[in-house]
Amino acid sequence: MLKVDAEFWRKYTKVYDTLNNVISYQELLADVCNELQIKSGDKILEAGCGTGNLAIKMKGLGAEVIGLDSCKEALDVYKQKDKDAKAVLWDLSKTPLPFPDNYFNKITCVNVLYAIAVEKRESIVKEFYRILKPEGKVVLVNVEKNGSVCKIYFHHLNLLFREKGAINMVANLLKFLPNALRLLYYNLFIVVDRIFFFVMNS
């Protein structure tokens, strides 16, 4: 049984970018950017930025992005992909967060809070509101309570099948399957180790 600790995230980071080949993940990142209505010069915190995929996409849309993550290896990958990346090594459950009040126009936290102990979540979200400017926007994304993480792969394969046919779909599946299986395996432990679903009272 794996424990969801620093070593766990180090291993997770090694296979995470396999998701860049998965259409559903690309759709998710695009949806987050659309939801944020990014304007040039927006100062955005990507809380739990991992290997920086969303941070890099938002920067490409003109935002000034700070990526925060507790996994040094993930931030190293992010900085390899973007030499000028502003990356902060920090554990979100350690509050207050290292930013002044009213600092960011926007904050994203995508598939991170569900992996953090339930009793820490409320203070983290309160911190997001402290460091957010008035009229700012926060986008939180979490795995559905009863949703299967497998669904993102099924959606991807279904789209590929319809657009490129069965042979291309199988070839694509074989390419990312080993790492995808490892990611699914790791997600099982997040489910077991933490309270999986996200509950927050307003």
Ligand X SMILES: C[S@@+](CC[C@H](N)C(=O)[O-])C[C@H]1O[C@@H](n2cnc3c(N)ncnc32)[C@H](O)[C@@H]1O
Write out the residues near ligand X by the rule CB under 6 A.
Answer: 9, 48-50, 53-54, 69-71, 74, 91-93, 110-112, 115-116
- Phi-psi region for residue 135, left (φ > 0), alpha (ψ -120 to 50) or beta? left
Indicate the residue among 18 and 111 with the shorter CB distance to ligand X: 111
Indicate the residue among 111 and 172 with the shorter CB distance to ligand X: 111
Indicate the residue among 64 and 73 with the shorter CB distance to ligand X: 73
Indicate the residue among 87 and 169 with the shorter CB distance to ligand X: 87
Minimum CB–partner distance for residue 194 and ligand X (Å) = 10
Judge whether 190 and 196 are in contact, CB under 8 Å.
yes
Residue 96 Cα distances to 3, 57, 132, angstroms: 25, 27, 13
Q: Write 189-194 long-range contacts (CB < 8 A, 24+).
A: 189/1, 189/2, 189/3, 189/4, 189/8, 190/4, 190/114, 190/115, 192/1, 193/2, 193/3, 193/4, 194/4, 194/114, 194/115, 194/116, 194/117, 194/118
Indicate the residue among 110 and 180 with the shorter CB distance to ligand X: 110
Minimum CB–partner distance for residue 165 and ligand X (Å) = 29
Minimum CB–partner distance for residue 160 and ligand X (Å) = 21
- C-alpha–C-alpha distance, residues 126 and 112, integer Å: 15
| Residue with the CB atom nearest ligand X in the bound state | 50
- C-alpha–C-alpha distance, residues 129 and 135, integer Å: 10
Indicate the residue among 63 and 110 with the shorter CB distance to ligand X: 110
Minimum CB–partner distance for residue 42 and ligand X (Å) = 17
Minimum CB–partner distance for residue 130 and ligand X (Å) = 17
Residues in the chain: 202
Minimum CB–partner distance for residue 55 and ligand X (Å) = 8
